Amino acid sequence: MSRLDSFIRRVSAQRDCLNYAFDLIATSNGPVLELGLGNGRTYDHIRSLAGADRVYVFDRQIAAHPDCIPDDDHMFLGELTDTIPRAVGAIGATADLIHCDIGSGNEAETRKLADWLGQNLVPLLAPGALVVSDQLFEVDGWEQLDLPENVAAGRYFIYKCP
């Protein structure tokens, strides 16, 4: 498979999983967290589904399209290991959905971050919240949900938290 085809499958899976997750939390109105702003495409999609005032974004640095940058009150800049613990008190409510797009191309580093996040996201999650991720999480109590039928197993992951 070409890198272009792989990219298209990845972003299509991302979009389809996010749309599915938002259908599942349609009656919720709590915060939504986006871990990994990147160029802002996914943030732009999430804010179209949730409204910009509900979305908090985390990334090391801003490298997004100017139209896809949240305001300062909704942006946490720095390493996730620093910003996630700060967010627990700063956001003021637990999240209904967290989207993690943290794959870096370095498998060992990404796995280490995913393991750390799995334990450290728990205080940020509302009961019944969803985690949509490009990485596998192994967290006690998180239920892995079925993916939309057009998303290949292992391409993306959706978890429901207790």
Q: Tell me: the pLDDT tens digits for 13-25?
A: 999 999 999 999 9
d(CA 124, CA 4): 35
Going from the N-terminus, what domains does the chain have, and what CATH number goes with each?
Answer: 3-160 (3.40.50.150)
Measured from the Cβ of residue 87, the count of other Cβ atoms closer than 10 Å reads 21
pLDDT of residue 20: 98
Give residue-wise pLDDT tens across range 93-142: 899 999 999 988 899 999 999 999 999 999 999 999 999 999 999 999 99
- What pLDDT shows up at residue 1? 87
Residue 61 in contact with residue 32, Cβ under 8 Å?
no
pLDDT digits (tens, 9 = 90+) for 56-92: 999 999 999 999 999 999 999 999 999 999 998 899 8
User: In whole angstroms, what is the distance from residue 105 CA to residue 79 CA?
Assistant: 17
Contacts with 111 (C-beta within 8 Å, 6 or more apart), sequence order: 135
Tokens representing 138?
């192994």
The answer to whether 115 and 146 have CB atoms below 8 angstroms apart is: no
Q: Which of 60, 52, 6, 4 is nearest to 31 (CA)?
A: 52
In this prediction, residues 41-62 reach a mean pLDDT of: 97
Residue 157 pLDDT greater than 90, yes or no: yes
Q: What is the reported pTM?
A: 0.95
For the segment 158-162, the average pLDDT, to the nearest whole number, is 96
pLDDT reported for residue 69: 97
Eight-state DSSP code of residue 93: S
Tell me how far the alpha carbon of residue 100 is from its chain's centroid: 3
Q: What are the DSSP E strand ranges found in the chain?
A: 32-35, 55-59, 75-77, 95-100, 125-133, 143-144, 157-160
- Say yes or no to pLDDT of 32 above 90: yes
Ramachandran region of residue 113, left (φ > 0), alpha (ψ -120 to 50) or beta? alpha
Per-residue model confidence (pLDDT) at position 131: 98
pLDDT at 28: 94
Task: Grade residue 3 by pLDDT with cuts at 50, 70 and 90.
Answer: very high
- Once rounded to an integer, what is the mean pLDDT over residues 15-40? 96
